[in-house]
Structure 1
Amino acid sequence: MPGWIPKRLGLIKFQVLLTGLLAFSLAGTTAVLTGVALTKQNDSMTDSILQSNFEGARNLNVSMNKLLDLMMRELGAAAKFIGGQEGPLEQQAGYVNEMLGGRRFFAGAVLLDAKGVVRASTPGLLMQAGEALDEQVVEMALALPRPFVSGAFIAPNGHCAVLVSHPVMNRDGQRLGVVAGVIDLDERNVFSDFFEHASRSKNGTYAYLVNERGQVMLNPDDQRSGELIAPEVLRQTFPNEDIRYAAVRNTEGREVLAGYLTIPKIGWGIVFQSPAEVVDEALGVLIKAQLAWILPLFVLMLLVSLGIARKLAAPFAALTAAARQISAGERMVDPPFTRHWNYEAHHLAKAMMWAVGALQHQADRMSEQARTDGLTGLANRVCLEERVADMETGNQPYALLVLDIDHFKSVNDVYGHQTGDEALVHLARMISLEAGGESFAFRFGGEEFVVLLPGGGLEDGLDLAERIRSRMEHTVSPTGRPITVSIGAAACPRHGETFGEVFERADQALYQAKRSGRNRTAAAEELLPVG
């Protein structure tokens, strides 16, 4: 029989029992605090990735809209020129090749007469004069008095394609037909370049294009087809624009964190997703770092406990109550007692508070990291939502600025992503210098930043916005020259009762500033009426 069990009584010594209880309490406290911190970190990282993927989908959406506008303008210019020429459409073949050839946007271009028959096409398109395209696509293109973007159809060469068309009118306003560009979805095209770049930007992140039914139109990597989300799952998960991101399962049954946005002009959808394993991998690294720090401390405290745990009776209840308080997730500020007549009990309480204080400090540090942007050092979106919730609870007015760097994609393309990151840090530093101690700056996502002025009005926000804009305009950035920003301003309750309403107005003002030439500030009142 073990020596620590008295043979005569068959009872465990109190010293051993208390030591075991203390070890259990320390282990339980460590597990609870670490578990709570990891849970918060997991939720924060998941939400951050979901929001980041939605921002990725939104950036692709902006790029696609700009690209479609450029296509329409090019087709419109060609249609105007061809319509102004004399003679039948067959004689305009040279103009079609001259104005729309070269594969800048399209795999090729065609000129269709009013019956939908091909009258001219660019070389290499494998379509001859007198041929007819997909009947349903041609009917819609000819029926509409405006530019048209078709759904996917099978071209005469057997490839899946999309038609972008513009009506051709003669000088008398009579419709002669349409001039159209063909985008070959089965070959490398202008759309696939955007999506391939997005998929390379992050490890495991993937972007692709679907039609209004959720069916894949453009998949930049056929080897990753199993990672796509089934059409019915997309329709059920994102039934409207109110739901922008969610955790769903792909066709392989694996969970992915997906952002989704519809392209308004044509109804196509952009899916921007990351595997959920990226969160697990990050948490795995965090757990290893915590264990490397916690285990030595735990062993040290256990050794100290073995030396001082002798005949403690009175402090037992107090220490147990303290352990229950910690296990319940409550913060422990004061020790169960500051001094005790029992020497061992006195130092045991000090040792316990040392361990708990260190663990609480670690939990606080992890919580702070979850609320801080790792690149710029500014507070992140989670912190913004907490501060806004506090202000809305107290019905406190505030001004809101939404800003981002003009032509930030060009900074990345020309100087590289490292310089792009340094430009974001530069903007964060300029905002902090101007914001002072009464305003709060946040990195909202990507190159977009938010500044909150508690108690401020629109005029206060515009004054701060102009100072930030002017400082950026006159300060050399990491690119070696100044970079500019556009800023939108709104105020609560002047432009809305909720943060969502105020942010939407400020965001609209930001895009108004960009449409007005960039490097400027716009207030919500300056917005042009819709329509």
Structure 2
Amino acid sequence: MAGQMFKNKGKIRFHLLIIGLLVFTMLGTTAILTSVALKSQTNTLTESTLQSNFEGARNLNVAMNMLLDSMQRSLGSAGKYIADNDLTLEQSSNFLSTMLSGQRSFNSVVIFDESGVIRSSTPESAGLREGKINTPAASKALKDRKPFVSEPYMDSKGQLTVMISHPLFDRTKQYRGFIAGFIYLQELNVFSDIFNHAIRSQKGSYAYVVDRSGKLMFNPDKGRIGEVPDAEELQAQFMKDKGRTATIDVNSQAYLAGYVAIPNIGWGVVFQSPATAVDEAMRSLIISQLKVVIPLFGVLVAVSLWVAQKVTHPFKLLTATARSIFVGERITDPPFTNHWNYEAHHLARAMMRAFGGLQDQADQMSEEARTDKLTGLANRLALDERLSKWMSEGLNWSLLILDIDHFKSVNDTFGHKTGDETLLHLARILESQTRDEDLVCRFGGEEFVIVMPSQSLLAGRQLAERIRKKVESTVSPTGKPITVSIGLASYPEHGDNFNQVFEMADLAMYNAKRDGRNLTKSADDYQHEVV
């Protein structure tokens, strides 16, 4: 016993090695997969949030573009009405009140003459004093004489304002001034209505608009309107068509922002969410995963230990068996091992040698099992396997069944040797007339089957006729041509499986024999005969 213990000292038991490797592999794999999964999920959540915010910004961009276009059209329609009705600019006040009373597009509307002097306004409580207005926005509208959207500016009352204008012309195309709609950014306005519906779509998310210089124009916090954020990277992107980025708000909190620029007026629409939303989502996800993973891992470890014990015991027996097979001995006693890798060493040698020979034999037997010995064509087993594959792939196919006419008389007259040569003769004709992707089989006796993947019934009929004519015009081993009767059907037109389609083609073939032989018939010709 002591000698045995001495001999075993320093040896590694096989089952302990397997268990150790198994546990190490599970722990390492779990750690790697968890790390990769968490990183991937974080990236996915971040990209999803950025994409969602970008879509929100783009939707707001579309709404604002449509609204600006509508406002310009409204001002243009007002100008056209004034020109068409020869109204003086001073007479337009009542019209403006009537026309715009049902709209909420502007906080006020004012008409300026060609000198920039106010001629009428609505509402009259807009607070604008009569006289000439010398703001940069009004000056640009007078100079350009075309539709115009101004940058935000402080008006005479000290409120941040955007002016949208449209030129006025009389019937003779003489310039008369312009009509301007004013939006007071720090009051309720048409843009704030849009953003009130868009903001707070999720916790901490909100939308805002900045002008060309990065100044806030619309923001949930009205006290911040007119402020210039610190996100220089984001502002620099506004002049591009579209994009996504991460930015830092003025309070130094990280945000994931989607933004879209409005190129024709230089504004940028931003929709952003706090980056902490991703962290919170990941934290919740990790906790929920750990609640599942930890118990599952414990169960897997316990099961793995039990499986390892079970696996290693027969492995030792297999090793002893492999050694006995290798040296040609009978197994009478359990194997005796005194080397830590003894089992694996002998098992590998025996198994590789045995496997090589067995595999060669298996391959040869498999090929023989799928080939007709007489003709070298595929047999029924090969046909079943190929059809199973094609049907699993959803392929349509057409089926031809060929039977040699009066083949019994060939055997009776010329003998079975000539009969076999006749079958081989027909097999070579079938191979020469079919495509590489077609499957040609000897189904039994003098009956042959051709399956044409992805081919219609019409294509099958054309092939059948080529074969029939080739056979009847080619001298066979009997010293004269033979003839064949052919039936065909298609999947799925004539059946939901091979047996149903085969039955339809077989019926068509027998109808060809009934009608005189050396004919091609399809299932369509006699489908009404199927019960």
Q: TM-score, normalised by structure 2?
A: 0.52
Partner of 2:264: 265
Query: What's the secondary structure of 1:247's corresponding residue?
Result: strand
Q: 1:89 to 1:124 in 2, by over 3 A?
A: closer
Partner of 2:282: 283
Paired with 2:228 and 2:297, the residues of 1 have a C-alpha distance of: 45
AA at the equivalent of 2:247: V
What is the Cα deviation at residue 47 of structure 1? 1.5
Partner of 2:156: 156
Does structure 2 conserve the Cα–Cα contact (< 8 Å) formed by 1:215 and 1:231? no
Partner of 1:178: 178
Aligned positions of 1:170-209 closer than 5 A? 170-209=170-209
What is the Cα deviation at residue 17 of structure 1? 9.6
Partner of 1:244: 243
Does structure 1 conserve the Cα–Cα contact (< 8 Å) formed by 2:170 and 2:176? yes
Query: What's the secondary structure of 2:256's corresponding residue?
Result: strand
AA at the equivalent of 1:148: F
Paired with 2:100 and 2:195, the residues of 1 have a C-alpha distance of: 24
Unmatched segments (≥5 aa) in structure 1:
1-8, 316-339, 343-531
Paired with 1:116 and 1:225, the residues of 2 have a C-alpha distance of: 28
Q: 1:238 to 1:81 in 2, by over 3 A?
A: closer
Query: What's the secondary structure of 1:28's corresponding residue?
Result: helix
Percent of aligned pairs with the same amino acid = 45
Q: 1:69 to 1:282 in 2, by over 3 A?
A: same
What is the Cα deviation at residue 341 of structure 1? 6.5
Query: What's the secondary structure of 2:246's corresponding residue?
Result: strand
Partner of 2:146: 146
Q: 1:99 to 1:84 in 2, by over 3 A?
A: same
Does structure 1 conserve the Cα–Cα contact (< 8 Å) formed by 2:216 and 2:227? no
Q: 1:123 to 1:136 in 2, by over 3 A?
A: same
Does structure 2 conserve the Cα–Cα contact (< 8 Å) formed by 1:100 and 1:108? no
Does structure 1 conserve the Cα–Cα contact (< 8 Å) formed by 2:53 and 2:258? yes
Q: 1:222 to 1:89 in 2, by over 3 A?
A: closer
Paired with 2:224 and 2:291, the residues of 1 have a C-alpha distance of: 37
Paired with 2:46 and 2:64, the residues of 1 have a C-alpha distance of: 27
Paired with 1:14 and 1:199, the residues of 2 have a C-alpha distance of: 65
Partner of 1:398: none
Paired with 2:304 and 2:87, the residues of 1 have a C-alpha distance of: 101
Aligned positions of 1:308-457 closer than 5 A? none
Q: 1:146 to 1:304 in 2, by over 3 A?
A: same
Query: What's the secondary structure of 1:244's corresponding residue?
Result: strand
Does structure 1 conserve the Cα–Cα contact (< 8 Å) formed by 2:93 and 2:121? yes
Q: 1:100 to 1:280 in 2, by over 3 A?
A: same
What is the Cα deviation at residue 255 of structure 1? 2.1
Paired with 1:271 and 1:199, the residues of 2 have a C-alpha distance of: 11
Does structure 2 conserve the Cα–Cα contact (< 8 Å) formed by 1:226 and 1:252? no
Does structure 2 conserve the Cα–Cα contact (< 8 Å) formed by 1:169 and 1:177? yes
What is the Cα deviation at residue 92 of structure 1? 2.4
Partner of 1:334: none
AA at the equivalent of 2:28: G
Q: Deviations over 1:23-54 (max 9, x none)?
A: 45433221111111222222122222212222
Q: Deviations over 1:121-178 (max 9, x none)?
A: 1125433451444521111111123211111111233211111111111222211111
Aligned positions of 1:422-501 closer than 5 A? none
Query: What's the secondary structure of 1:54's corresponding residue?
Result: helix
2:123 matched to 1:123? yes
Partner of 2:331: none
Query: What's the secondary structure of 1:285's corresponding residue?
Result: helix
Paired with 1:292 and 1:95, the residues of 2 have a C-alpha distance of: 70
Q: Deviations over 1:384-442 (max 9, x none)?
A: xxxxxxxxxxxxxxxxxxxxxxxxxxxxxxxxxxxxxxxxxxxxxxxxxxxxxxxxxxx
Unmatched segments (≥5 aa) in structure 2:
1-8, 316-341, 345-531
Partner of 2:69: 69
2:55 matched to 1:55? yes
Does structure 2 conserve the Cα–Cα contact (< 8 Å) formed by 1:134 and 1:155? no
Query: What's the secondary structure of 1:246's corresponding residue?
Result: strand
Does structure 1 conserve the Cα–Cα contact (< 8 Å) formed by 2:240 and 2:261? no
Paired with 2:236 and 2:201, the residues of 1 have a C-alpha distance of: 28
Paired with 1:47 and 1:66, the residues of 2 have a C-alpha distance of: 28
Partner of 1:450: none
RMSD over aligned CA atoms reads 3.7
Does structure 2 conserve the Cα–Cα contact (< 8 Å) formed by 1:245 and 1:259? yes
Does structure 1 conserve the Cα–Cα contact (< 8 Å) formed by 2:243 and 2:260? yes
Q: 1:253 to 1:302 in 2, by over 3 A?
A: same
Partner of 1:482: none
Q: 1:223 to 1:126 in 2, by over 3 A?
A: closer
Partner of 1:95: 95
Does structure 1 conserve the Cα–Cα contact (< 8 Å) formed by 2:106 and 2:183? yes
AA at the equivalent of 1:258: A
What is the Cα deviation at residue 240 of structure 1? 2.7
What is the Cα deviation at residue 231 of structure 1? 5.0
Query: What's the secondary structure of 2:126's corresponding residue?
Result: coil
Q: 1:231 to 1:35 in 2, by over 3 A?
A: closer
Aligned positions of 1:10-49 closer than 5 A? 23-49=23-49
AA at the equivalent of 1:93: S
Q: TM-score, normalised by structure 1?
A: 0.52
Work out the number of aligned pairs and report it: 309
Query: What's the secondary structure of 1:90's corresponding residue?
Result: coil
Paired with 1:226 and 1:44, the residues of 2 have a C-alpha distance of: 35
What is the Cα deviation at residue 249 of structure 1? 2.2
Q: 1:96 to 1:227 in 2, by over 3 A?
A: closer
Aligned positions of 1:505-516 closer than 5 A? none
Partner of 1:136: 136
AA at the equivalent of 1:109: V
Paired with 1:178 and 1:42, the residues of 2 have a C-alpha distance of: 54
Q: Which has the larger radius of gyration?
A: 2
Q: Deviations over 1:428-460 (max 9, x none)?
A: xxxxxxxxxxxxxxxxxxxxxxxxxxxxxxxxx
Does structure 1 conserve the Cα–Cα contact (< 8 Å) formed by 2:106 and 2:182? yes
Does structure 2 conserve the Cα–Cα contact (< 8 Å) formed by 1:83 and 1:176? no
What is the Cα deviation at residue 20 of structure 1? 7.0
Partner of 2:217: 217
Does structure 1 conserve the Cα–Cα contact (< 8 Å) formed by 2:72 and 2:147? yes
What is the Cα deviation at residue 305 of structure 1? 5.8
Paired with 2:305 and 2:225, the residues of 1 have a C-alpha distance of: 59
Partner of 1:351: none
Q: 1:274 to 1:135 in 2, by over 3 A?
A: same
What is the Cα deviation at residue 230 of structure 1? 2.3
